[in-house]
């Protein structure tokens, strides 16, 4: 057991820092065993602080102090106390120079936080609290400082030396060493500091901003990867242009650098002028990266670039405000992808993430509002709630205020807060003030956790020709929040007439009707909206474009859902109606299977799917989405008690039945959608998506001829999208072609780490018997290592979070193995360990036997001596719930 329980940090305890750091000049002596960090800081009292005689408390993490001076004088021993986590200095003058020299060990740093090595190069990761692993500092986002950085290192081993801002000098330091000095003209919190040193090659380009600034663009990668940087570079230029066009925001330095590193915990990091990326979100060629990868790279490049304004120029006052920058920046990257691609298809992907990952989080032991009020380890709060639900909360403001109103709010936000560290309240105030809007009740979205349930019911009055729509809301209790107040929910909706036409909408009392859709504001627990001049019983299309992150409940008939799938003018809702229909069919089959009744696929569902497939008017990307069944994970979420075996059985049954019933159609479209050489365009990737859905159904019956077809596609594909899709099919069948394809793939791609991640992931998510044993063997494969997060995510996290059948094996073998991995990872990289252990969070969803097995593993994890606060927080909260 731990000797002491980690501390909880509370929002209510926030106080301004007693000191500010006006400037810092840093010098890094990078060496082969340890690194010395010399800092000269200009420190003054903070006029905004009420604490007059407070000591200066600089925080550290695993640090060794070499020396400390105030105004050039070595400090007497009674003026300070020091430990690996703190340097406390008493009796400071109102303003002083403070020189601190620290020694650190980047070579043995496996946490990937602070300064660390990856493939012989040096990199930093400082968000959220990594800077304190580099030196003693006021490591909090509201301390914004001007930085200069001098890097000294061996010239041969580390020819490239990068940091934030502009390069102002370089030279020789003798003994084979050289130096480079960087100055960042913008104040920034320490979490945006970055340093990179090593052997790297660069792809360069230029962008001219609309006011005429010439910006040098650089993408730095390890040798051998230059040919995979062109898509990333094109994405950077599109992002810069888009932010100018849509938000009037320009880049503000003469140079913008991206560095790709293979060992990285998250996707990427927005360090000022020097973004550091996981290689996964930079490197792509058609042969090695899928359409999904190309889209994700564009989105993540956009995301980090957009942070320059939403995050860096205006930053967070404290980490409780994390969604201020993350929710807003996700909203911006989503809009970027939607403006460049297909709005409906992008929206579907966003909502799939929200439902499959955020809704479960909001219903589980880690449920937290997008502005939390407490945390143990801030790294545990880089969540789908903060990011994706945070983006939904921004999107709702956009929906309520309209595009022009939202833009006015953004403009005011920057006018008021450029250069400041602010709160989510400041953001909402700018939106409200710029529009004269009342967002008081809306702000509850920032404070209340949980997914609201929106119950809708309609009543047609044939005599009065009116339609009454009643909307009622409620929100389940979450840890620490037993009662909830009503939210302000924007409900975008329309009414469909008999032929599927959209009816004009006039509320009783209004002078004129609105053509098409409108946004209703639900603010009470229950409200009725009365539409007049409705000629006949309509079918309501509710929550169009998913206008609020809620669970909609409406007692549609199957026929109404099929009607919406065929006719809704809102493409998102067409897809959603199809998913709802599929969910019903699947849940009914699960119930039949549990009761031992024979399974039968309803004809209405087959015919709805046939109509979608054969509707060549439909965007193929939308068709591909509509023909994909809800995942096993989602079905588990909507069941009272999840039954992973039966869910798998029912879903496979539906796939096999659809494969048979529509066999000629799948084949015809598979053949029709053949294309020439690979291009990454919306049109081409839409066709590939649908064609690969066809392939997957063709193979669902596991007939020899169809498996040969998949194998042929696998062998002949000139791009990873088609090769991976075929391999994913084969990885789930017990057939010699599976072994052949997997080993062929491993030989073909053994030198491409990111492609080998796909290989690991496809095996980890296989439904075949023996998958766990196979996964255990893969941990011994030479491409696998526990120290690389991408490998851990591909093999271990995929197994735990995307293979419900085997993770939830009734004998507990899946749980036991994953818990072993968590314990091993905890000593290497606690942030990664805590992402893996989160797979146990939904233990309450399962039967008592599985609950017991999962709880036992959580207890075993908690019993580990010296367990990290990261894993402690997740595991202990899971058990408390
Ligand atoms: N701010 C980064 C982003 O969203 C997230 C991030 C990158 C991060 N690396 C991290 C968060 C390490 C915590 C720890 O773009
Ligand atoms: Zn971000």
**Tens of pLDDT along 129-184?**
999 999 999 999 999 999 999 999 999 999 999 999 999 999 999 999 999 999 99
CA 342 to centroid of ligand 1, rounded, Å: 27
pLDDT at position 1, please?
46
**According to the model, what pLDDT value does residue 20 have?**
98
pLDDT at 457 over 50: yes
The string over 70-95, giving b where at least 16 C-beta atoms fall within 10 Å of a residue's C-beta and e elsewhere, is beeeebeeebbebeeebbebeebeee
CA 777 to chain centre: 30
Measured CA to CA in angstroms, residue 509 lies from 506, 723, 809 at distances of 8, 59, 59
- Distance from residue 256's CA to the centre of ligand 1 (Å): 18
> Which of 764, 846, 772, 784 lies closest to 813 in space, CA to CA?
772
Q: Are 197 and 158 in contact (CB under 8 A)?
A: yes
Closest to 731 (Cα-Cα) out of 714, 754, 755: 714
Residue 304 known to be catalytic: yes
Residues with CB under 6 A from ligand 1: 125, 127-128, 265-266, 268-270, 303-304, 326, 379, 382
Q: Which residues contact 106 (CB under 8 A, 6 or more apart)?
A: 30, 34, 35, 114, 115, 116, 117, 122
User: How far is the centre of ligand 1, averaged over its atoms, from the C-alpha of 174 (Å)?
Assistant: 37
Domains 9-199 and 315-447 share a fold: no
- pLDDT band of residue 3 (cuts 50, 70, 90) is low
Give mean pLDDT, residues 235-255: 99
pLDDT at residue 881, as a whole number: 81
What is the average pLDDT value for the chain, to the nearest integer? 98
The CATH classification of domain 571-880, taken from the options 1.10.3720.10, 3.50.50.60, 2.60.120.620, 1.25.50.10: 1.25.50.10
Query: How far apart, in whole angstroms, are the C-alpha atoms of residue 814 and residue 799?
Result: 9
Does residue 705 carry a pLDDT above 90?
Answer: yes
Catalytic annotation, pick one of 304, 335, 361, 706: 304
CB 318 within 8 A of CB 11: yes
What six digits make up the tokens of 552?
A: 């909609």
The predicted-structure confidence for 422-434, as pLDDT tens digits, reads as follows 999 999 999 999 9
The token pair at 156 is 């041969």
Pairwise CA distance, residues 690 & 682, whole Å: 12
Pocket test for ligand 1, best of 116, 123, 127 (most atoms within 8 A of CB): 127
pLDDT band at 348 (very low <50, low <70, confident <90, very high): very high
User: Percent of the chain at pLDDT above 90?
Assistant: 99
pTM recorded for the entire structure: 0.99
Q: What's the rounded Cα separation, in Å, for the pair 368 and 390?
A: 11
- Distance, CA of 249 to CA of 412 (rounded, Å): 13
CATH number corresponding to 453-548: 2.60.40.1840
Say if CB 821 and CB 802 are below 8 A apart.
no
Query: What does the angle CA 123 – CA 127 – CA 133 come to, to the nearest 5 degrees?
Result: 65
CATH topology assigned to domain 9-199: Immunoglobulin-like (2.60.40)
**Closest residue by Cα to residue 785 from 110, 224, 133, 114:** 110
Residue 678 has φ and ψ, to the nearest 5°, of -65, 130
Return the closest-CA partner of residue 316 out of 141, 446, 138: 141
Q: What is the mean pLDDT of residues 244-273?
A: 98
Cα separation, 240 vs 141, in Å, equals 25
Out of 267, 304, 316, 391, mutate this one to test ligand 1's pocket (max ligand atoms within 8 Å of CB): namely 267
Nearest CA to ligand 1 atom 1: 269
Query: Structure tokens of 660?
Result: 């048979």
Residue 869: the pLDDT is 98
Over residues 472-484, mean pLDDT: 98
Q: Rounded CA gap, 221 and 229, in Å?
A: 8
State how far the Cα of 715 lies from the Cα of 739, in Å rounded to an integer.
13
SS3 173: strand
Q: Which atom of ligand 1 is nearest to the CA of 307?
A: 15
Measured in Å, how far apart are the chain's first and last C-alpha atoms?
Answer: 20
Question: What topology does CATH give the domain 315-447?
Answer: Neutral Protease; domain 2 (1.10.390)
Q: Distance from the CA of 789 to the center of ligand 1, in angstroms?
A: 14
Q: Read off the pLDDT of residues 761-779 as tens digits, 9 standing for 90 and up.
A: 999 999 999 999 999 999 9
Residue from 195, 188, 77, 91 nearest 133 by CA:
195
**Could you give the percent of the chain with pLDDT greater than 70?**
100
Cα of 438 vs its chain's centroid, Å: 30
Residues in a beta bridge with 58: 87
Indicate the domain borders of the chain: 9-199, 315-447, 453-548, 571-880
Q: Which residues contact 247 (CB under 8 A, 6 or more apart)?
A: 309, 332, 407, 410
How far, in Å, are 163, 255, 272, 526 from residue 250 at the CA level?
A: 21, 13, 14, 45
Rounded Cα–Cα distance for residues 246 and 407 (Å)? 9
pLDDT number for residue 52? 87
């Amino acid at each position: 057991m731990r000797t002491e329980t980690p501390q909880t940090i509370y929002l209510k305890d926030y106080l301004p820092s007693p000191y500010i750091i006006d400037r810092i000049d840093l010098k890094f002596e990078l060496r082969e065993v340890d690194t010395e960090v010399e800092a000269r800081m200009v420190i003054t009292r903070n006029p905004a602080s009420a604490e007059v005689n407070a000591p200066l408390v600089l925080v550290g993490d695993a640090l060794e102090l070499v020396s400390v001076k105030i105004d050039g004088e070595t400090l007497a021993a009674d003026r300070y106390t020091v430990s690996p986590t703190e340097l406390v200095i008493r009796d400071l003058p109102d303003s002083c120079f403070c020189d601190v020299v620290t020694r650190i060990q980047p070579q043995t740093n496996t946490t990937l936080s602070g300064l660390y090595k990856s493939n012989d190069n040096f990199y930093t990761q400082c968000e959220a609290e990594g800077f304190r692993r580099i030196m003693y500092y006021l490591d909090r986002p509201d301390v914004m400082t001007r930085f200069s950085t001098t890097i000294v290192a061996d010239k041969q081993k580390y020819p490239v030396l990068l940091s934030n801002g502009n390069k102002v000098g370089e030279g020789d330091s003798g003994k084979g060493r050289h130096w480079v000095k960087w100055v960042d003209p913008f104040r920034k919190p320490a979490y945006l500091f970055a340093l990179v040193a090593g052997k790297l090659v660069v792809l360069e380009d230029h962008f001219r901003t609309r006011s005429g600034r010439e910006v040098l663009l650089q993408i730095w990668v390890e040798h051998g990867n230059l040919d995979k940087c062109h898509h990333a570079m094109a994405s950077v230029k599109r992002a810069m242009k888009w932010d100018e066009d849509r938000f009037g925001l320009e880049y503000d330095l003469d140079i913008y650098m991206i560095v790709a590193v293979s060992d990285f915990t998250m996707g990427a990091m927005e360090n000022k002028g020097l973004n550091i990326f996981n290689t996964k979100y930079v490197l792509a060629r058609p042969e090695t990266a899928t359409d999904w990868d190309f889209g994700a790279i564009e989105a993540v490049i956009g995301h980090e670039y957009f942070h320059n304004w939403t995050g860096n120029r205006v930053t967070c006052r404290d980490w409780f405000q994390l969604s201020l920058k993350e929710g807003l920046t996700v909203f911006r990257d989503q809009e970027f992808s939607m403006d460049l691609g297909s709005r409906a298809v992008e929206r579907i992907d966003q909502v799939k993430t929200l439902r499959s990952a955020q809704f479960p989080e909001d219903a589980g032991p880690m449920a937290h509002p997008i502005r939390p009020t407490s945390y143990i380890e801030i790294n545990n709060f880089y969540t789908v709630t903060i990011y994706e639900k945070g983006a939904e909360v921004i999107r709702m403001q956009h929906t309520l205020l309209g595009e022009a109103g939202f833009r006015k709010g953004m403009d005011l936000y920057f006018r008021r807060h450029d250069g400041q560290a602010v709160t989510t309240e400041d953001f909402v105030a700018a939106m409200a003030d710029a529009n004269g809007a009342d967002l008081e009740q809306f702000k509850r979205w920032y404070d209340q956790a949980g997914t609201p349930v929106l119950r809708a019911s309609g009543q047609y009055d044939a005599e009065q020709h009116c339609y009454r729509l009643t909307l009622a809301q409620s929100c389940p209790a979450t840890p620490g929040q037993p009662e909830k107040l009503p939210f302000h929910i924007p409900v975008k909706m329309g009414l469909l007439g008999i032929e599927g036409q959209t009816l004009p909408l006039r509320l009783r009392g209004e002078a004129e009707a609105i053509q098409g859709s409108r946004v209703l504001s639900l603010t009470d627990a229950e409200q009725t909206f009365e539409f007049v001049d409705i000629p006949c019983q309509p079918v309501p299309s509710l929550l169009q474009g998913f206008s609020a992150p809620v669970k909609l409940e409406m007692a549609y008939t199957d026929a109404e859902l099929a009607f919406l799938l065929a006719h809704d003018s809102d493409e998102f809702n067409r897809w959603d109606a199809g998913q709802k229909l599929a969910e019903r069919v699947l849940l009914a089959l699960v119930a039949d299977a549990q009761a031992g009744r024979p399974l039968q696929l309803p004809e209405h569902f087959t015919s709805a799917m046939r109509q979608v497939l054969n509707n060549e008017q439909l965007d193929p990307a939308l068709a591909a989405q509509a023909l994909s069944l809800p995942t096993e994970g989602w079905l588990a979420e909507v069941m009272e008690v999840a039954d992973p075996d039966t869910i798998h059985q029912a879903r496979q049954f539906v796939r096999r039945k659809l494969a048979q019933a529509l066999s000629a159609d799948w084949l015809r479209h598979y053949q029709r959608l053949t294309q020439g050489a690979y291009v990454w365009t919306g049109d081409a990737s839409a066709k590939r998506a649908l064609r690969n859905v066809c392939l997957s159904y063709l193979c669902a019956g596991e007939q020899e001829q169809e498996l040969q077809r998949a194998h042929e596609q696998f062998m002949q594909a000139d791009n990873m999208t088609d090769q991976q899709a075929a391999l994913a099919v084969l990885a789930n069948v017990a057939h010699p072609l599976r072994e052949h394809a997997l080993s062929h793939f491993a030989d073909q791609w053994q030198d491409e780490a990111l492609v080998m991640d796909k290989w690991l992931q496809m095996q980890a998510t296989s439904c075949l018997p023996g998958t766990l044993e196979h996964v255990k063997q893969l941990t011994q494969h030479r491409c696998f290592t526990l120290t690389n997060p991408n490998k851990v995510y591909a093999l271990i996290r995929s197994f735990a979070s995307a293979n419900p059948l085997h993770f939830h094996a009734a004998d507990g073998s899946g749980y036991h193995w994953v818990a072993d991995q968590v314990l091993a990872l905890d000593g290497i990289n606690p942030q990664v360990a805590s992402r893996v252990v989160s797979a146990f969070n939904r233990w309450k969803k399962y039967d008592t036997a599985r609950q017991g097995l999962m709880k036992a593993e959580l207890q075993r994890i908690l019993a580990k001596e010296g367990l990290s606060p990261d894993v402690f927080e997740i595991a202990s909260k899971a058990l408390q719930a």
